[in-house]
Structures are given as C-alpha cells and as structure tokens.
Amino acid sequence: MQLVTPEAIAEVMALQPVPHTLAELEARVRAGLPRSALRAGVEQAAASAEARRALLAQIIPEATYKRRRERLSPDESEKAERLARVVATATYVWDDADDARQFLGAPHPLLEGRAPLQVALTELGARRVEELLWQLFYGLPV
C-alpha cells in the first residue's frame, strides 16, 4: 500500500507532464528521467549547497552526472525516483518541507544512528525509512 501519490513523487522531481498512475511513473523511469529530475529531488532533500553536492555525488558520480546531456539512465532514474519517493513521504508525514528535510538529514537511532537519506540510498534502505515514517505518522511504537 502506497499513500504517497505518483503526483507527489513527480512534484518532488518537478516532472512535466505529471504522471497520474504508478504505471505512468514507472514508464517514465524506464525511459530515463530528465537530468533535472534528480537535481530537483536533491534540492528538496538537502538543505545546504554542500549537502546537496554530497548527496548528488552519492547517487551519481559527479563526472557521470556532468556527462549526462538530457536523460538519466534507467538505473539512475530509479535512484532519482527512490529519493523523490522518500522525500515525498517525509513531507507528507511531517506536513512541512523543512521539517521533512531536517528529519531526513539527522541521524536516527532506529537506523543505527545513520541519517534517513543515507539509509535510503538503497531500495531496501528506502523501504526501512518509509516504514519508519509511516510508524511515526500513525503513532505506532517504534
């Protein structure tokens, strides 16, 4: 069950036209998202320029990112979508972009003291972060 809509995920990446279903979003990811989608997601996720630069380099090496003209590869697009999904979920749960960004960048004890953004760099890690966010949202014991 996914409570964060494809539109909310697309909004984090500033995608146009906006996909309205997961199938549409998945097709866009498979075809390769625009390079700007990753940049927009990173800007939503990290507060400072230094943190944005570091996060971008962890997702795609800087030299590789610079070589990309217009489109990311499908693998890079999946990473951009994963980041946007986690940011959209955190924003939904906290109901404030700044609070979401603060949560994503701060070490969390249930994530072995790692920041949610660091954990979310892998698909399984992103699932852990999303699960934690939904537990917080619903007031479940964590």
* Partner residues linked to 71 by β-bridges: 34
Instruction: State the average pLDDT over residues 74-100.
Output: 96
* pLDDT at residue 81 is higher than 90: yes
Query: Quick one: tokens of 31?
Result: 């075809």
Neighbours of 80 (CB within 10 A): 28
Neighbours of 53 (CB within 10 A): 13
Closest CA to 45 of 114, 116, 109: 116
Instruction: Domain of residue 57: give its range.
Output: 6-138
The whole-number pLDDT of residue 133 equals 96
Domain-located, residue 102:
yes
* Partner residues linked to 136 by β-bridges: none
Domain-located, residue 107:
yes
- Predicted TM-score (pTM) of the model is 0.93
Domain-located, residue 1:
no
Neighbours of 89 (CB within 10 A): 28
